[in-house]
Every structure is written in structure tokens, then in C-alpha cells.
């Protein structure tokens, strides 16, 4: 397995995926370079979440053809934890609850797995406290069971907190804007935009934002927008494409 440092940050090549024998993704191609934010929009049930789970390595989704490359390295056959350690991140649409596991212990374990080369465990506390402040999350949050009884907004704030703590070079956000009220959307989106800003190292990172709405893209401004339908990308354009979709819907995109 070789790594090409001059390769695009993230590539999806002719990706075909089946779920329980049914083909859902039918040849997805996508290239994201360092510093770019791409958005994927599309109707419900077109395979967007299947794409995000597949990219993270969920075993339920079988790659029948194609490749996923991170920094030029083929990660298609790697388990999710290996992908995470290579700094790929998925913000889940529906983060699962794990009763009895505190947010603090979970965050410490994940930071230890992903960032132990650059941070000592003794530094975790200060880093977590700092990021909590940025997201307007009280420290008492840390003693709660992971995602148990969390509101939609709390779950998405925690996903955003994890993104900022784990410092991925490639982040996939699966409908991170769903379940957020206006204020929470602003806080979460501003933190995401801050994460991709050049002064915070965003020039070396990439982001794939899966969303139904333009509202999040008002904050996290995409460089490229894709329309997803029938298990593949149907149309690609600039940021104005999201505005057009918001205005005209998907009917005009053939096959969407």
C-alpha cells in the first residue's frame, strides 16, 4: 500500500455498494482536494447516508466495485477504526446512545486512539475544556451517558465537538444540520466553518457536507455542490447550484 503525498486529499472512484444484496450506490466518482468543501444534496432515499457509512467502513455496506482513497492510499478494505486513525471522520446523522459510557471517558478513549502521537493524555482535559466553551456546552455534559436522552441539538453539538477534538483531515458531515434550532445551527455551523478556515489549518483539510438545505451552506460555504440521485452523482456545480436547488427543487435534474 503506497501513499502519494501529491495525490488529491480524498477520492472516490467508481464506487458500487450493495446492502443486503441490493445495489444502492452505482458508480460514485468524487475528488476532494485539500482546502475544499464539497456539498452533496439530494432527495431522501437516494443513497446519501449509504455513501457516508460506506466511506467510514460500516461492515453492513459491501463495496462490490471501486475504491476509496485518502491521501492517495487505498482505504477501501480498512476497518473503521483504522480509517479514523488515518484522520477520516464521520459526523453521524443519528449518533447512537451508549448507556453507562460517559461522554468524558468516550472522548478520552477516542482522543487516545486518534491523537496519541501528538497529544499527551494529560493535555486532553485542557483541549476538551477549550472546545466545550466554543460550542457553548457546559462541563456537566461530560458526565452524562453518551447520547442517552440527548436532544437532537445536543447530539449534533457533540458530533461537532468530536470533529474539533479529533482534528480529521477529511470530515464527512451527514445531515449535521438536522434537528438543530436556529441558534444551535449557527453555533455548530460557525464552529465547522472555523475548523475549515485557512488560519486554523483548514487549507490542509477537506469536508464533505451532506445536507437537504441551503441554510447550513450559508455558514459552511461549499466550493463544489453535487446533486445525488439513483445511487450516483447526477450533476456538479458551484455554490450557486445549492441556491438553485433550494429555489427549484430536484425535478429539473434528470433522474433525481
Partner 1 sequence: MKIPALFKNNDLLASAPKKEFSSEAGSSASHFFEWSDHAAIEVVFHAKKDSTLECVFLQNLDAKAELPARVQLIADRGATIRCTIIHQGASKSQISFDSRCAEEGASIQIQALANSRLNQKHAFIANAVHPVPHTHSDLKVWCVANDEAQTIFNGTVTIEKGAHHTQAFQKNKNLILSEKATIDSIPQLFIFNDDVKCAHGSSTSTLDPDQYIYLQSRGIGLADAEAMITRGFIENAIHWIENEATSARVHAVLGLNQEEAL
Question: Which positions touch partner 1 (CB under 8 A)?
Answer: 53, 56-60, 79-81, 83-85, 89-90, 92, 95-96, 98-102, 104-106, 109-110, 113-114, 125, 128-129, 139, 142-143, 145-146, 162, 166
The least distance separating partner 1 from the CB of residue 81, rounded to whole angstroms, comes to 4
Burial (CB count within 10 angstroms: exposed 0-12, middle 13-18, buried 19+), residue 51: buried
Residue whose CB is less far from partner 1, 58 or 186:
58
The least distance separating partner 1 from the CB of residue 21, rounded to whole angstroms, comes to 18
Under 8 Å between Cβ of 89 and 163: yes
The least distance separating partner 1 from the CB of residue 90, rounded to whole angstroms, comes to 5
Residue whose CB is less far from partner 1, 42 or 57:
57
The least distance separating partner 1 from the CB of residue 113, rounded to whole angstroms, comes to 3
CA distance 193 to 220: 5
**Vertex 95: Cα angle to 217 and 156 (nearest 5):** 40
CA distance 92 to 64: 23
Grid coordinates representing 86 are 488515518
The least distance separating partner 1 from the CB of residue 61, rounded to whole angstroms, comes to 10
- Say what angle helices 182-195 and 152-166 make with each other, to 10 degrees: 10
CA distance 223 to 133: 29
Under 8 Å between Cβ of 160 and 136: no
The least distance separating partner 1 from the CB of residue 110, rounded to whole angstroms, comes to 4
CA distance 143 to 138: 10
- The radius of gyration of the chain from alpha carbons, rounded to an integer in Å, stands at 18
Residue whose CB is less far from partner 1, 172 or 242:
172
Amino acid at each position: 500500500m503506497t501513499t502519494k503525498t501529491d495525490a488529491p486529499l480524498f477520492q472516490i472512484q467508481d464506487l458500487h455498494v450493495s446492502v443486503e444484496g441490493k445495489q444502492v450506490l452505482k458508480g460514485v466518482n468524487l475528488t476532494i482536494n485539500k482546502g475544499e468543501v464539497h456539498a452533496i444534496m439530494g432527495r431522501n432515499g437516494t443513497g446519501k447516508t449509504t455513501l457516508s457509512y460506506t466511506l467510514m467502513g460500516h461492515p453492513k455496506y459491501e463495496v462490490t466495485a471501486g475504491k476509496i482513497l485518502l491521501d492517495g492510499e487505498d482505504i477501501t478494505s480498512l476497518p473503521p477504526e483504522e480509517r479514523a486513525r488515518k484522520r477520516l471522520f464521520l459526523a453521524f446523522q443519528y449518533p447512537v446512545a451508549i448507556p453507562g459510557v460517559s461522554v468524558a471517558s468516550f472522548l478520552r478513549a477516542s482522543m487516545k486512539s486518534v491523537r496519541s502521537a501528538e497529544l499527551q493524555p494529560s493535555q486532553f482535559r485542557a483541549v476538551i475544556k477549550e472546545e466545550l466553551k466554543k460550542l457553548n456546552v457546559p462541563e456537566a455534559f461530560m458526565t452524562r451517558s453518551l447520547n442517552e436522552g440527548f436532544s437532537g441539538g445536543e447530539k449534533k453539538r457533540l458530533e461537532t465537538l468530536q470533529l474539533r477534538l479529533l482534528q480529521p483531515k477529511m470530515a464527512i458531515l451527514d445531515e449535521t444540520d438536522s434537528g438543530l434550532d436556529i441558534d444551535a445551527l449557527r453555533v455548530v455551523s460557525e464552529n465547522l466553518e472555523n475548523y475549515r478556515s485557512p488560519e486554523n489549518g483548514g487549507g490542509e483539510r477537506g469536508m464533505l457536507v451532506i445536507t437537504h438545505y441551503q441554510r447550513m451552506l450559508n455558514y459552511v460555504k461549499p466550493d463544489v455542490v453535487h446533486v445525488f440521485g439513483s445511487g450516483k452523482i447526477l450533476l456538479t456545480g458551484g455554490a450557486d447550484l445549492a441556491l438553485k436547488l433550494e429555489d427549484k427543487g430536484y425535478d429539473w435534474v434528470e433522474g433525481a
